[in-house]
Structure 1
């Protein structure tokens, strides 16, 4: 075996070993969470745990339904604000913006993804909470405040992936549409956007997974009250916040119940990833031997 073949062999086997090692780590994490969380389902009851409305560890009550609703409401409200802005920005950057503008916007958007969660949370605590308290009443710690923060945090994910999907549409599609007399906006609306839609939907689902898994920023501005909110200005507690707040002092069944909360959260996120993967593969369009 010559030097080049030896190097290629070592690199190939090294990458294979690292891939296997990554899979093993993932399975170890899943196994640990399941082993620690399943006793909560066995001792307290699965349906009582999932659909119980009261979380009071001191009274041995571990219902997480209010936190499931809180997590879903915060995430959906955040996506309602983030998705339109993200898609408009992605379309502008991919199809409209001059190259000079694109070169400025892209690093700015990437910078948003590099800002630590605690910075977002601190900004919400110092700036957004007082504004919402003065203009809408209440304490300012609410589902709406948390959703605002999450909307900003998921922008880079949705914008970047949506832009890549739009740019991956074959250039022949644009030329054919423009050649038939369509305007640039008609081409984007009727040709480019529908062709890129599977990738855009995937980006939205991945952004949703990013939002529902966020912890620190939500803890700082959501209010952390275990209740089903009656309005967007009510405080809520999410699943991730519940784990982070109480893990430091939990013991016994309380400790297992927090891992059970992690299992519920894990199932939700896995479900979102499965849906994203399904959409990505089901709606791929075969173009000249390749795929969009």
Structure 2
């Protein structure tokens, strides 16, 4: 009986180990596939020319496979959307958790969750038919499909994620810490800034990571509202073509196993590396803030 019990425990252990490792296995297979399909392009163009080349004309003769404008387009859109989304998301979370009246929170919280569930094509369509004409009219620019439009739409997508997870992190702060701060004479705002914010920093950092990670890999919105121009932007009103949008726009037209096909997979590999590096950096910063917050408390 004891042997059968140990055997069942061992099988259950193996089962949950496989489930836990499945995500890593799938991620490794995706990376392997990207490497197999993307590396052949470097028999045609060097890594340096591919990364830092300023021209992307894969259908010309001879073709140009420089993705530097696509990289700058992605970075500019993600950076500007982060500047918009992070303060709004964290500020909204603190407002809902610490300031808003329960009735107000009961109205705003479902709206935030509803926005989080909107299809990306709906957000992109809103950017095309509402935001783009507004920008074009009020800023007197040639097109409203540009870096600013894409950044606002990506921020619109990221804010609910940052708000929801940050609010949960704020609620997880032990109540006695807040009450102790108030008992020592600190005001509500001082308690938020000096106690609640440091104590919830790890969860807030996770929220920011997830929100910005969604913006980095988003395809449909940037495909619809970024303008689609493979050029280095000189201002936030210039059109761009981020890497995900370029892959989505051209993959259907690239002949199977052609140089163009392999170049698109190489772009996906570069995007994978960028996302991986961002997650490593964000994880390091989150751990650093966790240690600083613990020391300050």
Q: Are 1:279 and 2:282 an aligned pair?
A: no
| Contact map agreement 1:90 1:160 (CA 8 A) in 2 | yes
Structure 2 distance, partners of 1:79, 1:27, is 28
Partner of 2:150: 146
Other-structure match for 2:174: 170
* Alignment check: 8 A CA contact 2:146 2:238 kept: yes
For the residues of structure 2 that align with 1:44 and 1:154, how far apart are their CA atoms?
A: 36
The 5 A counterparts of 1:8-27 are 12-27=13-28
Of 86, 89, 93 in structure 2, the residue corresponding to residue 86 of structure 1 is 89
- Stretches of structure 2 that go unaligned for 5 or more consecutive residues are none
- TM-score by structure 2 length? 0.89
Counterpart residue number, 2:206: 202
Instruction: Give the structure-1-normalised TM-score.
Output: 0.90
1:132 shift after superposition = 1.1
SS at 2:59's partner residue? helix
Distance of 1:282 and 1:79 partners within structure 2: 20
Q: Deviation of residue 15 (structure 1)?
A: 3.0
**Superposition CA RMSD, Å:** 2.4
C-alpha displacement of 1:168: 2.2
1:267 alignment partner in structure 2? 273
| Matching of residue 221 in structure 1 with residue 225 in structure 2 | yes
Q: Is the Cα–Cα contact under 8 Å of residues 201 and 290 in structure 2 kept in the other structure?
A: no
How far off is 1:47 after superposition?
0.9
Separation in structure 2 between the aligned mates of residue 236 and residue 37 of structure 1, nearest angstrom: 23
Residue equivalent to 1:244: 248
Q: Do 2:201 and 2:286's aligned partners in 1 also have CA atoms closer than 8 Å?
A: no
Q: Secondary structure, in 3 states, of the residue corresponding to 1:58?
A: coil
* Number of matched pairs: 289
Identify if the C-alpha distance between structure 1 residues 112 and 4 changes in structure 2 by more than 3 Å, giving closer, same or farther: farther
